[in-house]
């Protein structure tokens, strides 16, 4: 394997250039600022978040459309965000608002040929939904961070695509030659994986260390140093299984991947037994309802 090129002294490193790209993303909307702050366990008023959602006409309309969809099967019509909170709870509402706000931001980013923001959005949200459903039904370390970890686990890929054009071309060429996207190609060109870049970016956003760690090790959960008790699983392991399953069903980011006939194998290893079918049925409903918004 060819070693990554050594940066010339005084020039920004790959990590520095990727974080420069992070700074060039469209500015966060007021609601996204609040949602990110709430993930970092800052003192955030959810009543204030509801107020902000209501002031964002497009977001509020989409949230209410989602709440009134067949997914939730509610009797009567929900016509206010506060009513939606009382029916769904804050976490479900926050997850939906976070998905819609983040994907709307990604859609404003100029990306290179061969990159599909729609695929990126669908894969990220699919992994977020499934990670959350899995984490809530297992003894998972920091289960409350599962949705955000899933949503941002491939952020490093986006940063490479928008900020490291030559490196992205080199990786794409290697993938094209071998008809697959593999972490070793990232390391060969960048000197690190996209998972490491994702975690570094989330550190810049001040997301909790537990989310950063899960994202950093989502491709190699066996290396995750998070201490666990008997019967516990790390968040990175849950994230890894969700990522593998969603990719296996054909919802992936790059052009160099293909559906896996044994998409459930990573999930089977979690030991959920009969609960897994129930989780996947719930996932199918939630994902189908949300992905129409991006």
- φ and ψ at residue 140, rounded to 5 degrees: -100, 135
What is the largest distance, in Å, between two alpha-carbon atoms of the chain?
A: 65
pLDDT band at 3 (very low <50, low <70, confident <90, very high): very low
Residues, the chain, total? 294
Residues sharing a CB contact under 8 Å with residue 28, sequence separation 6 or more, in sequence order: 36, 105
The CATH classification of domain 114-294, taken from the options 1.10.3210.10, 3.90.1150.10, 3.30.590.20, 2.40.37.10: 1.10.3210.10
Query: For the segment 249-275, what is each residue's pLDDT rounded down to a tens digit?
Result: 888 887 667 666 677 888 999 999 999
Q: How far apart are the first and last CA of the chain?
A: 38
Q: How far is CA 176 from the centre of its chain?
A: 25
3 state SS for 42-85: CCCCHHHHHHHHHHCHHHHHHHHHHHCCCCCCCCCCCCCHHHHH
Query: For the segment 152-206, what is each residue's pLDDT rounded down to a tens digit?
Result: 999 999 999 999 989 988 988 888 887 777 788 899 999 999 999 999 999 999 9
pLDDT at 6 over 60: no
- φ and ψ at residue 189, rounded to 5 degrees: -90, -40
pLDDT band at 58 (very low <50, low <70, confident <90, very high): very high
pLDDT of residue 197: 94
pLDDT at 124 over 90: yes
Using an 8 Å Cβ cutoff, are 61 and 78 in contact?
no
pLDDT of residue 255: 60
**Cα atoms found within 13 Å of the Cα of residue 224, Cβ hemisphere only:** 28
- Name the more confident of 98 and 74: 98
pLDDT of residue 12: 77
- Predicted TM-score (pTM) of this structure: 0.91
pLDDT of residue 147: 97
Over range 79-84, report the average pLDDT: 90
pLDDT of residue 137: 95
Q: Tell me how crowded residue 287 is: count the other CB atoms within 10 A of its CB.
A: 22
Q: Where are the domains of the chain?
A: 27-108, 114-294
Mean pLDDT score of the chain, rounded to an integer? 88
pLDDT band at 19 (very low <50, low <70, confident <90, very high): confident
pLDDT at 276 over 90: yes
Query: For the segment 128-144, what is each residue's pLDDT rounded down to a tens digit?
Result: 999 999 999 999 999 99
Q: Which range in 91-95, 158-162, 207-211 is most confidently predicted, on average pLDDT?
A: 207-211
d(CA 9, CA 112): 28
Using an 8 Å Cβ cutoff, are 35 and 98 in contact?
yes
Q: Tell me how crowded residue 120 is: count the other CB atoms within 10 A of its CB.
A: 24
d(CA 247, CA 45): 36
């Amino acid at each position: 394997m060819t070693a990554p090129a050594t940066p010339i002294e005084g020039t920004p490193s790959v990590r520095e250039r990727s974080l420069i790209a992070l700074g060039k993303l469209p500015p966060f909307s007021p609601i996204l600022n609040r949602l990110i702050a709430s993930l970092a366990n800052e003192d955030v008023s959810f009543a204030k978040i509801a107020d902000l959602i209501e002031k964002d006409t497009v977001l509020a309309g989409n949230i209410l459309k989602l709440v009134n969809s067949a997914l939730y099967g509610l009797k009567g019509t929900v016509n206010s965000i506060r009513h939606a909170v009382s029916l769904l709870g804050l976490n479900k509402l926050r997850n939906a608002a976070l998905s819609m706000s983040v994907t709307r931001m990604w859609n404003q980013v100029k990306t290179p040929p061969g990159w599909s923001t729609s695929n990126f959005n669908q894969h990220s949200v699919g992994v977020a939904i499934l990670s959350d459903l899995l984490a809530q039904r297992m003894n998972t370390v920091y289960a409350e961070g599962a949705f955000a970890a899933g949503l941002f686990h491939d952020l490093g890929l986006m940063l490479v695509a928008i900020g490291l054009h030559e490196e992205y071309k080199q990786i794409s060429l290697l993938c094209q030659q071998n008809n697959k996207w593999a972490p070793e190609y990232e390391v060969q060109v960048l000197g690190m994986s996209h998972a490491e870049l994702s975690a570094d970016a989330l550190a810049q956003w001040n997301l909790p260390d537990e989310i950063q760690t899960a994202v950093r090790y989502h491709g190699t959960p066996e290396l995750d140093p998070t201490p666990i008790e008997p019967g516990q699983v790390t968040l990175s392991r849950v994230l890894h299984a969700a990522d593998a399953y969603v990719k296996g069903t054909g919802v992936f980011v790059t052009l160099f991947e293909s559906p896996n006939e044994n998409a459930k194998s990573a999930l089977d290893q979690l030991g959920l037994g009969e609960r897994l079918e129930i989780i996947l049925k719930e996932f199918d409903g939630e994902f189908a309802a949300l992905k129409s918004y991006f």
